[in-house]
Structure 1
Amino acid sequence: MFPVVPRGSEEDREDQVRERVLQSALNFVPQHGWSRNALIAGAEIEGLPSVAHGMFPRGGIELVLYFYASSNQKLADMLAAETRLSQDGRMQKKSTELFIRDALETRLRMLIPYLSKWPQAMGLMSLPWNAPEALENLKTVVNDIWFYAGDTSVDLNWYSKRVSVAGVYKSSELFMLQDSSDDFRETWSFMQRRINNVMKLGDLAGQMQPGSIDGVGTFMSGAIEIVSYILSLVPPSF
């Protein structure tokens, strides 16, 4: 009598194999970039034939998206643990500004092992057919940061906070690519200046009164500039 195989078990096993290959393939990104060759090397490390890269019909972008999503999850786990410690009184609660700064730096540091090949990843994510998933991953980063920072806003502030922090992340990411300072010291200084601008923008949004056309116009021009930057990879001029 044949054993009963639970429904979905085959799909689960395939997902596990895919994840093993992707995780192993990350070790070859510095050598092969975000490419099929990295996927082939990852499959071979896992004892699979080189044709196993066929499990990734979209090629290198699947490796980029895996890295992005798994890094986001790693950050979320770290922020959740920090939040629990601060709520239990075992860690001093940080100010919102410091919490955001530390979270952004933590996430950006995850790029360091792959920094020389990161422009290729950014290029792949900017392609029209990949951009929706790339923007969704970016949205996850900023949503998680604000959630664990304790944000409870439900008005225009909700959008302004997330768009602004997304702009800080992407501009700092670009700056980091050409930063040769020790331990990326200049990147963190650049990022702090952008965060200072975010706090000013947040104050403006919070001070706006219903019907204040001038306030809305000023706020929206700043927000639109950041959104345009995210979509076009052109740094905002602030």
Structure 2
Amino acid sequence: MARVLTRFTSVRLLKLALPLIPTHGFTRAALAESVLALPASSQHTAPLSDTAVSALFGEGDDARRTLINAWLAEGISQMGKTPSSAPPLGQASPRPSIRDILHQRLRYNEQALQYLPEAFACLATPTSITSMMLTPLDPVPAVKHAVGIADEACCVSGDQSLQLSWYARRAALAGIYTAAELHQLASPKTAHAFLDSLLASSSKLHASVEEVGLFGGYVMKSWQGIIRSSGIF
């Protein structure tokens, strides 16, 4: 373990663990096997020990949360790489549209879709016994997730809303993306069409969200409350 701790940073191993998520899920095993993907000059022949995983990424489910948050952060960074049509010679590349950016973010989910309900539940589970007694699930990670995606979509698309419009725009997009993502978990094949329908007619958002029940009562009600407060319907 000492060799690992002195030669390799957790950031480097987290990057190597991300491609393992489609097969290993958001697990400590994915983090343990990340070391096997190091280049030949730093090659390891065995996965990290459980003690090493805890030392690098956190005890118990904290290590899983570290991996989940790294995967979410990578999803945000990929939004800035949304392809757009080639510009005419001598002209700058056009910025992608909000629609294209949000569709790209839904596609990012597809590689780990089967693991997302459990991953989001892990993030929403309070880490202390005291917090767990006060609230069974914490809605804050869901809020940060949706708002982060909305904000990045606006930045990448070049949205220039000001003052109150700035907040309203992001609140609306956070609500739309949240509903589309929840729909994606229940019906992956129709998620993109569903997103288009919400973007075209945000008044449908209220009814559509109420059809989704994958995250349990408390988180679902919290997410619905966030969407309602955005004032987009």
> TM-score scaled to structure 1, two decimals?
0.64
* Cα pair distance change 1:16/1:234, threshold 3 Å: farther
Identical pairs, percent: 23
Partner deviation per Cα, 1:194-218 (whole Å, 9 max, x = no partner):
11234x79xxxxxxxxxxxxxxxxx
| CA positional deviation for 1:140 | 2.6
Equivalent in the alignment of 1:49: 48
- 2:130 maps to none
- Mark the runs of 5 or more structure 2 residues left unpaired by the alignment: 39-43, 128-137, 211-217
Compare 125-134 and 150-159 and name the one that shifted more: 125-134
Equivalence map 1:129-208=2 (5 Å): 132=140, 135-179=143-187, 184=189, 186-198=190-202
CA distance in 2, matches of 1:142, 1:123: 21
Distance 1:111 1:135, change over 3 A: same
C-alpha distance in 1, partners of 2:111/2:185? 12
Residue 229 of structure 1 deviates from its aligned partner by 7.7
2:133 maps to none
How far did 1:231 drift?
A: 7.0
Partner residue in 2 for 1:29: 21
Q: How many residues align?
A: 190
- 1:146–1:138 CA distance, 2 compared to 1 (3 A): same
More deviation, 188-197/58-67: 188-197
1:159 Cα deviation from its structure 2 partner: 1.4
Distance 1:188 1:40, change over 3 A: same
Task: State the Cα distance separating 1:108 from its structure 2 match.
Answer: 1.2
Deviations 1:49-93 (A, max 9, x none): 3233121111211110000001211212x15x859969x635456
Could you tell me which of 66, 89, 92 is aligned with 2:91?
Answer: 89
Task: Compare CA radii of gyration and give the structure with the larger one.
Answer: 1
Deviation at 1:146, TM superposition (A): 1.1
